[in-house]
Amino acid sequence: MENIKKKEISKKELLSTLKKMVKNEIRITYHEQEEPLFACSSKIGGKPAVPTDFKWPEFTGESYDGIIGSRPLSFMAQINLKEAAAYDTEGILPEKGILSFFYEQISMVAGFNPEDKGCARVYYFPDEEALVPVDFPGDMDRDVMIPELAVTFEKHASIPECCDFMEFHNVMADWDEYDECRMECGYETDDWDMETKLLGYPDTIQSPMETECEAVTRGYRQGCPEDYAKIPEQEWKDINEKSAEWMLLFQLGTIETEDAEFMFGDCGQLYFWIKRQDLKNLNFDNIWLIMQCC
């Protein structure tokens, strides 16, 4: 990969550039509730609402203690798109139907290996009236069954992390000035802990993921210099160009309840990525998941 020296960007240039980059994100908070939710409600965990012929997805991977096996994916969340529509100010998501997110928590792969395909799945069910709640598979470990949590949505300005911005634009920016410009563009921190949301820019823990998504879905393992060195220079250029086609669909952080905690790696987050054209075509078969942690 070519190493190009980065130029410094002034605060004025920085602010002008960020104003053009602002997107909308739908932040999600959740809470426990006493009464069960309606089957097609937006929620974290619980039992998914699915068609009667739904086949629960499985993934073959290695557990932390070295046991390789095929295991059911955990049901992570479902979004009722009619409930989310008012917060989707850019009209990116379908206006109705259910989006359901699954991830296999025992293997807990990070998405850096082409063999990780299938560790996460996203389903789109356009007709919620045809859906019914389904029980967990009989062989699912109880420790990966997430309890049902009600959610609320909020729309917010989304602006990339400083390190992501600098890498994408090949510039050097002052971190304090970057935060000031981000706030001036409408970004709100408040008590936001960078965990769960739809759309917008990812809250990156390690490094930008778009190039990783493009490279790994072409069959190239990611994660270390030895892996990157195996990719021909010309293909790297094409990968970098095509990486712009990827967008964040859903980001999910640590899930905490009074009785349980579901953590991904060490205080990590799950990022569900999709190509813009696939989302436009309602094709969720080619999503890619990356997990980042501290």
pLDDT tens digits along 19-56: 999 999 999 999 999 899 999 999 999 999 999 999 99
Query: Which letter, b or e, does each residue of 60-92 get, where b requires 16 or more Cβ atoms within 10 Å of its Cβ?
Result: ebeeeeeeeeebbbbbbbbbbbebbeebbeeeb
What amino acid is encoded at 96 in this protein? K
Residues paired with 153 in a beta bridge: 28
Residue 277: pLDDT over 60: yes
d(CA 112, CA 216): 6
Q: Which CATH class name applies to 7-292? A: mainly beta
Q: Are strands 7-8 and 171-172 parallel, antiparallel or unpaired?
A: parallel
pLDDT computed for residue 64 by the predictor: 87
What is the share, in percent, of the chain residues with pLDDT greater than 90?
A: 87
Confidence of residue 5 (pLDDT cuts 50, 70, 90): low
Count of Cβ atoms closer than 10 Å to residue 142 Cβ: 6
Domain ranges of the chain: 7-292
70: which 2 tokens?
Answer: 């095929």
Longest dimension (CA), the chain: 59
The pLDDT of 280-293, averaged and rounded, is: 97
The pLDDT of 126-141, averaged and rounded, is: 97
Q: Say how many CA atoms lie within 13 Å of 177 toward its Cβ.
A: 15
pLDDT computed for residue 7 by the predictor: 85
pLDDT computed for residue 191 by the predictor: 57
> pTM for the whole thing?
0.95
